Structures are given as structure tokens and as C-alpha cells.
């Protein structure tokens, strides 16, 4: 299966962050995820401690209702994705063998649809789930779904300490470059410093680079987020060196498989 087009996805991520429509950034990211996956609705929930979950955004009433049912019943694809670290699919149009309580309640509440839950795990730590629903059975590309979920997670959260060489852990020279790059992205996209820093972190995650290297690319004007492509080529790091597929950091953690209808693996 072809690797996701990171440059194109990051361009869309940048446009979502830079949008000035008055919506919170998490709502804009949910809408972008919905459009990329071609879904009918999306919800984003975060879990910083088990079993507590917080619904950060949802794009429609059906997405909200599915989250509420899982919270009440303690079962469902989003919870399974969070627990297993794997993409989980539930087809409410087929025989409902798994999560019988949730499946029957969901079928009554929202009707026949297909649900895909993708764990958000930047840096390998699961911090939440993006759950999409659709009327048809078209399955999203698992690598694209996982990459984008992790990039969104990196944008919204600080990943575990030490995963990036960020401003807190860099020496004074690197910190200066990171702060300068953040200011340049603020000007390019007319966003807040917090959103600019989040986008730099998402780009670093996407290309498996240190944050200081991405910042240097911005300062050297080899990486400009206002450009349509918004990215260095996926096989080229921000410092200009070519990278092999083995260095590209595109392992989605899903083994190109998903859990379906109650968590059975389809390897």
C-alpha cells in the first residue's frame, strides 16, 4: 500500500489551523479530517487518564450520539481503539456479533452506518480517538487515517517529554531559532503563537525530524507554510538531506489491519 502523501496532508492541516472562520482549532481539524476521509461525520475525544474521556468536538448529532452511547454503555469501537491501539471498524448494516448492547443502541439511535475509530498516538502513547461514520462501506486508507490522526494529536497536545527536541530541551541557540520560526509562521498564516508552534510540532512529527531542524528550515526559507504545498518533500528532511523509506516514520502502528465488529483482528 502506498504511503500517505504527507506534504498534501500537512498542507491541509496548515490551512485548517490558519482558517479564520471563528471556529475553535479542534473543530476545524475535525472538519478537515472528515473531508480527507470522505466521512459523513467525525468526533474527537481525548483521554489523558483512563478511563476518563473528554469529547473535544463533533461535526454532527450522530457523531455526538455515538460518543454518548459508548460513554454510557462502556463499550464500542472508539473505546476498543483506545484500549488496543488499533483502527477499529463496526458495520451497523451487517450482522451485529460484537458489542451487542452498543450496536443495537446505535442502530436504533442513528440507523445503519459504518463506524471507523482511529487511535491518536503521537510518540506511541495513545491520547485519544478520532471516530468517523459514513453511510457506505468505503474504508479509509489506514495509513492515511493513522498518520493524520497522529498529526492532529501532535497539533493539539504536547507529546511525551523527550519525543521532540523542543524549545524546553534545546540549547539557547536552538531555542532562538525555534522562537524565530514560530514568529515567521505567525506572520505567514496570521495565527496565534500557540497554533504556529503546534503546526511546527506536527510537521516535525510527520517527517520524523527534530523540532529545531524544522525551525531551521523555516528560518532559512526552505519551508514556508503559506505556500500551497506547505512542506518539504516527504523524502527530504527540512535540512535538505534525502531520507529512505525506512527513515520516513510512516509506520502507522496498525499493521495495515483493523479490528472489526467487536475487535476481531483482520491481519
Per-residue pLDDT tens digits of the chain, which is 267 residues long: 556 677 778 777 777 777 766 788 888 889 999 999 999 999 999 875 555 678 989 999 999 999 999 988 989 999 999 999 999 999 998 876 667 889 999 999 999 999 999 999 987 889 899 999 999 988 889 999 999 999 888 877 654 434 344 455 556 677 788 888 888 888 888 777 877 887 888 788 777 788 888 889 999 998 887 655 544 333 344 344 433 333 333 333 334 345 554 543 333
CB of 222 closer than 8 Å to CB of 231: no
CB of 79 closer than 8 Å to CB of 52: no
Instruction: Tell me which H or E stretch contains 159.
Output: none
CB of 212 closer than 8 Å to CB of 171: no
Amino acid at each position: 500500500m502506498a504511503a500517505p502523501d504527507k506534504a498534501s496532508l500537512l498542507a491541509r492541516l496548515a490551512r485548517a489551523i490558519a482558517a479564520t472562520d471563528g471556529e475553535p482549532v479542534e473543530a476545524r481539524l475535525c472538519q478537515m479530517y472528515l473531508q480527507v476521509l470522505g466521512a459523513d461525520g467525525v468526533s474527537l475525544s481525548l483521554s489523558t487518564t483512563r478511563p476518563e474521556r473528554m469529547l473535544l468536538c463533533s461535526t454532527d448529532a450522530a457523531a455526538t450520539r455515538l460518543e454518548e452511547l459508548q460513554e454510557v454503555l462502556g463499550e464500542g469501537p472508539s473505546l476498543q481503539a483506545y484500549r488496543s491501539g488499533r483502527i477499529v471498524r463496526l458495520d451497523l448494516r451487517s450482522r451485529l456479533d460484537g458489542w451487542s448492547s452498543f450496536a443495537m443502541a446505535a442502530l436504533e439511535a442513528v440507523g445503519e452506518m459504518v463506524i471507523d475509530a482511529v487511535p491518536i498516538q503521537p510518540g506511541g502513547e495513545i491520547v485519544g480517538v478520532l471516530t468517523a461514520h459514513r453511510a457506505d462501506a468505503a474504508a479509509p486508507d489506514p495509513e492515511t487515517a493513522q498518520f493524520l490522526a497522529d498529526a492532529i494529536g501532535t497539533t493539539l497536545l504536547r507529546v511525551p517529554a523527550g519525543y521532540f527536541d523542543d524549545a524546553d530541551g534545546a540549547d539557547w541557540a536552538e531555542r532562538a531559532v525555534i522562537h524565530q520560526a514560530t514568529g515567521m509562521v505567525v506572520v505567514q498564516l496570521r495565527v496565534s503563537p500557540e497554533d504556529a508552534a503546534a503546526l511546527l510540532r506536527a510537521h516535525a512529527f510527520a517527517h520524523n525530524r527534530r523540532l529545531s531542524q524544522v525551525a531551521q528550515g523555516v528560518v532559512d526559507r526552505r519551508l514556508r507554510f503559506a505556500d500551497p504545498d506547505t512542506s518539504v518533500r516527504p523524502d527530504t528532511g527540512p535540512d535538505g538531506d534525502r531520507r529512505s523509506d525506512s527513515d520516513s516514520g510512516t509506520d502507522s502502528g496498525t499493521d495495515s489491519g483493523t479490528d472489526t465488529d467487536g475487535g476481531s483482528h483482520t491481519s
